[in-house]
């Protein structure tokens, strides 16, 4: 794996921890190999697709709200404008009560990136676009 990418990820993760953007796992869930960080779609200058609102991202996967229910196991391409894209597989999809969202998206979709390096690139690009900067050594 690209050493500079891993270093940028580690620095961004440390900054996200300082900002309180690293999400705790709910009780009863397995521990993930990589922490999830909150996504702030209102801070992104490039469109995120195919979702309406991204919820969180880790080096291994992403969670987002969508209008349509993808099938478990379905491969999808996740893109941040034309800057970076990653292949992922849908793990699960659950219906969301409409009052939870300001937007009428109906499903929360959880995906696993097909390649961890693509996931790292996506995470770093999203957090940098949000204005999170990895401090220099």
pLDDT in tens, 33-90: 789 999 887 787 776 676 667 789 999 999 988 888 889 999 999 888 888 999 999 9
Local confidence band at 28 (pLDDT 50, 70, 90 cut-offs): very low
- Burial degree of 23 (CB within 10 A; 0-12, 13-18, 19+): middle
Q: ∠ CA(25), CA(29), CA(35), 5° rounding?
A: 35
pTM for the model stands at 0.83
Local confidence band at 136 (pLDDT 50, 70, 90 cut-offs): very low
Fold of domain 3-129: Thrombin, subunit H (2.40.10)
Q: How far apart are CA 65 and CA 94, in angstroms?
A: 10
Q: Which of 122, 117, 113 is nearest to 91 (CA)?
A: 113
Local confidence band at 27 (pLDDT 50, 70, 90 cut-offs): very low
């Amino acid at each position: 794996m690209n050493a500079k990418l891993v270093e940028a990820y580690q620095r961004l993760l440390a900054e996200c921890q300082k900002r309180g953007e690293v999400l705790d796992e709910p009780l009863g869930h397995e521990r993930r190999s990589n922490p999830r960080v909150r996504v702030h779609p209102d801070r992104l200058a490039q469109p995120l697709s195919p979702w309406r609102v991204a919820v969180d991202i880790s080096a291994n996967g992403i969670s987002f709200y969508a209008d349509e229910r993808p099938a478990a196991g379905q491969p999808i391409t996740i893109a941040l404008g034309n800057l970076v894209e990653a292949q992922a597989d849908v793990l699960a999809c659950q219906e969301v009560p409409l009052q939870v969202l300001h937007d009428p998206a109906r499903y929360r979709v959880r995906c696993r990136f097909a390649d961890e390096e693509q996931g790292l690139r996506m995470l770093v690009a999203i957090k940098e676009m949000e204005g999170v900067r990895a401090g220099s050594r």
